[in-house]
A and B are shown apart, each in its own frame.
Chain A
Amino acid sequence: MEALFYIFAFIAIFSALMVISMKNPLTSALYLVLCFFALAGFYVLLDMQFLAVMQILVYAGAIMVLVVLVIMLLNISRLNAVKTDFHQKIIGIVIAVVLFAEIVIYTVGGKTKKPTGIFTHAVINKIGNTQVIGQFLFTKYTLSFEIASILLFVAIIGAYLFAKKKL
């Protein structure tokens, strides 16, 4: 388990770095798919197989296909690649390092709460993780579920409006 964690962590961080450093957007998109697969591996290690499957189906499948389709549609060649300013790079690195330092300070220095829930590893495996998530989704979080459906509906209309010939 420990070894798997470090393998997935290495793949995820390496491919995330590749996503932001590649010149060609298509290469970035493929590295992003690799990163999503590594994150799905993390979800399996954390006893959430359902989320791992959703990660691969929704992110690595649907969303990335949409991104690759748009890259293909726009036909961005290497010749008109977008350049990055030097000062922009410096500012970005400084902000990212400060942000990371804050995250490490709060993660390592903070106190961890005692486990409060009842859904331990054994309980989740007994009921099945899909059932547990479904149970919560359709009882405690029904309102959020309905609002999510409205959000998707609005997104369909928004995407249609942007895709029209004249804005």
Chain B
Amino acid sequence: MSEKISPFHIALLVYMIELDVTFFSLPRLIAENIGTNGWIGLIGLSLIAGLNIVLIQLVYRFAKGRTVYEIMERAIPKWIMYPVYVLLAVFWVMLGSFVAKKFVLIFQIISFQTAPSMFLYSLIAVMALYLLTKGIYNISKAVTIFFFFLIPVAFLAVYFIPEWEPIRFTTFLFREAAEGHSFRNWLEVYTIFTGYELVLLLFPYADRSKKIFKGVYIGHFLLTSMYLLLTAVCFGFYSLGQLQSLMYPVIDLLSYIELPFINRIENLILTLFLFANLVSLTMFLWAALTALKRLFPKPKKNALEIGLVVLSALIAIYPKITRDSEALLRAALYAETGLAFAVPILLLLLLAWQNRPKGGRSA
């Protein structure tokens, strides 16, 4: 663990954690919840996520090298924190498992319809275990390679230029949302960004000599531009009503592409997105691991990792159909979004209290 993660890899890590299975339904989510010209709403939501990152950055600045757990344990007695850690760990495992399970269920729409979904899930789980045992530094290296597998997909956007009509964007702003506008609906779209908050746990592994938050912002910006590109392509390629009616518009989008040597590349690209979901699962498991390590500072080699992956597989058994899996994932993502805002604020309060000038004597 001597090597530190550089801002570049943090950027890719943030990008890959945020990118997950919601990518396939993203254009529909936006069309349904925001309506016409939803891409503007997407920018707004991305800025809110940016604000959240600013909060995390403040924590980083005031923490002065301490980890999140250390800050909390200084203020709160350990016997309170330990159950919290267990809860957090279980929650993160759940979140990761739901993401991966939903990917499996979507994958089964296209191929391996009758294979047991837990078998496919266990494939991902074993990969996640393999990654976890390599440590966060090596995870970041693997993530870099996975990123380079996925980024060429963006160039497929070129294929849609002839069919792309800006007139389909309409001149209306945020109209035709399926259920009108509510906090909940916008929150549903906002959850596509969850994942950046794990940066809180990366503090001790990041290269302190460099500006790690530059990396976080770049990663988030990259993801936002990726989502914007996708949304722009979809809004010009589909009509709004069609977009709202399609379950996974990205799959349809990809199935439209006919290359000379290969058709129906959604078969390949959907599978390729296994990597994005693998990274999300692994990183949430890793987050759970850091929490559990506070309880068991000296675990047997790989015991915690195996335990977490087994737990994740057990949790993943529960959502069996797409509808359940969607509802569970959504609920978990809402909670995670709440955490993403609450934890930095709590930490900032704790830090303000811990760093308060001690009776003015030192001044």
A and B held together in a complex:
no
B-binding residues in A (CB < 8 A) = none
Chain B residues at the A interface, C-beta cutoff of 8 Å: none
